[in-house]
């Protein structure tokens, strides 16, 4: 009798695990949306780990195994190199895999080239970092809700309820950031990796980007950045944990300033936008 009970319980536990919807997200911020909207019905893993660089990341064999068993893949969809290189491999590995393109319905902005890069190779390219504005977060939330309902219609009511709650929070986060930034007078900021263009556009700030997606600067480009920062009375160079700080430190030294870290890929989406806002405000006063 005990043995039977044990077997029965064991069976239940296993079934609970396997009946959760298996989801893989490209980057941490997207997994946040899956966790919040999917709640206890989903099991989500992330491709690019904390500190990994989505412009150059390659999946591990373990991740490929996990991907083979997933029901749903949430991709960034805005031209991140890692997806451009790997999506077709993922699909040939798992032909049942449904793919949600999280960018659907988002208005992408072109990469703003600075005169720093006289020969820009970014003609017509869009800035891929769209998730870093709360209003785009609302679009992502709706996309994730639809994808979860399609993949797992049995829990539709929960997905709708969780999405409504999250959208509420994102709307008040948007107002909160707006309010905090109103008093800032010098609205230009210098950032090494150009990830904060959507955030800047949403809140009336101006991002001055140092590098172009992963390339290091020539001495001449460095000098231009330094001049531009001095002209704009900028004292802080923002860096991301995913990228080398060496050139950013050099620029900071030249402008008698400092580097500060803001993370475009943190998994605690809302808290991260709050943290970044505080960091921006402190440096733009």
Using only C-alpha atoms, the chain has a radius of gyration, in whole angstroms, of 21
- Least separation in angstroms between residue 128's CB and Zn ion is 6
C-beta neighbour count of 197 within 10 angstroms? 24
Provide the mask over 167-196, with x wherever binding to Zn ion is found by CB under 5 A and - wherever it is not: ----------------------------x-
C-beta neighbour count of 260 within 10 angstroms? 18
CA distance 140 to 108: 13
The residue with its CB nearest to Zn ion is: 195
Of 72 and 276, which has the nearer Cβ to Zn ion?
276
Residues 6+ apart with CB under 8 A from 74: 23, 24, 25, 26, 30, 31, 33, 34, 100, 102, 144, 147
- Least separation in angstroms between residue 64's CB and Zn ion is 23
Give Cα separations from 26 to 78, 95, 119 (angstroms).
Answer: 12, 18, 31
**Total interface residues for Zn ion by CB under 5 A:** 1
- Least separation in angstroms between residue 55's CB and Zn ion is 6
- Least separation in angstroms between residue 202's CB and Zn ion is 17
CA distance 224 to 217: 10
Of 82 and 280, which has the nearer Cβ to Zn ion?
82
Segment 193 to 222, residues that bind Zn ion, using CB under 5 A: 195
- Least separation in angstroms between residue 240's CB and Zn ion is 8
- The residue whose two tokens read 């991301």 is 240
Segment 239 to 268, residues that bind Zn ion, using CB under 5 A: none
CA distance 227 to 10: 67
Q: Give DSSP secondary structure letters for 77-145.
A: -S--HHHHHHHHHHHHH-TT-EEEETTTT----B----TT-SS-S-TTPBPS-GGGSHHHHHHHHHHHH
Cβ atoms of residues 67 and 99 within 8 Å: no
- Least separation in angstroms between residue 39's CB and Zn ion is 29
Of 137 and 194, which has the nearer Cβ to Zn ion?
194
- Least separation in angstroms between residue 241's CB and Zn ion is 12
Interface ranges with Zn ion (CB under 5 A): 195
């Amino acid at each position: 009798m005990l043995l039977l009970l044990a077997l029965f319980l064991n069976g239940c536990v296993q079934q609970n695990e396997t009946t959760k919807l298996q989801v893989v997200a490209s980057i941490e911020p997207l997994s946040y949306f899956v966790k919040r909207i999917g709640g206890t019905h989903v099991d989500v893993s992330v491709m690019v780990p904390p500190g990994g660089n989505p412009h150059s990341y390659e999946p591990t064999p373990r991740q490929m195994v996990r991907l083979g068993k997933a029901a749903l893949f949430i991709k960034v969809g805005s031209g991140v190199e890692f997806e451009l290189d790997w999506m077709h491999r993922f699909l040939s590995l798992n032909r049942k895999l449904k793919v949600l393109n999280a960018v659907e319905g988002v208005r992408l902005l072109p990469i703003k080239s600075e005169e720093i890069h006289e020969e820009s190779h970014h003609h017509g390219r869009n800035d891929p970092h769209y998730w870093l504005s709360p209003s785009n977060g609302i679009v992502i939330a709706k996309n994730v809700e639809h994808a979860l309902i399609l993949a797992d219609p049995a829990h539709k009511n929960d997905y709708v309820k969780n999405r409504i709650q999250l959208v509420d929070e994102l709307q008040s986060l948007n107002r909160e950031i707006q309010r905090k930034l109103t008093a800032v007078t010098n609205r230009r900021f210098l950032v090494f990796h150009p990830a904060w263009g959507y955030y800047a556009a949403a809140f009336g700030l101006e991002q001055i980007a140092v590098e172009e997606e992963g390339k290091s600067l020539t001495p001449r480009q460095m000098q231009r950045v330094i001049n531009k920062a001095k002209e704009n009375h900028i004292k802080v160079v923002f860096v991301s944990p995913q990228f080398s700080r060496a050139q950013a430190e050099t620029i900071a030294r030249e402008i008698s300033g400092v580097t500060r870290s803001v993370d475009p890929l943190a998994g605690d989406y809302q808290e991260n936008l709050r943290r970044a806002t505080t960091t921006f405000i402190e440096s733009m006063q």
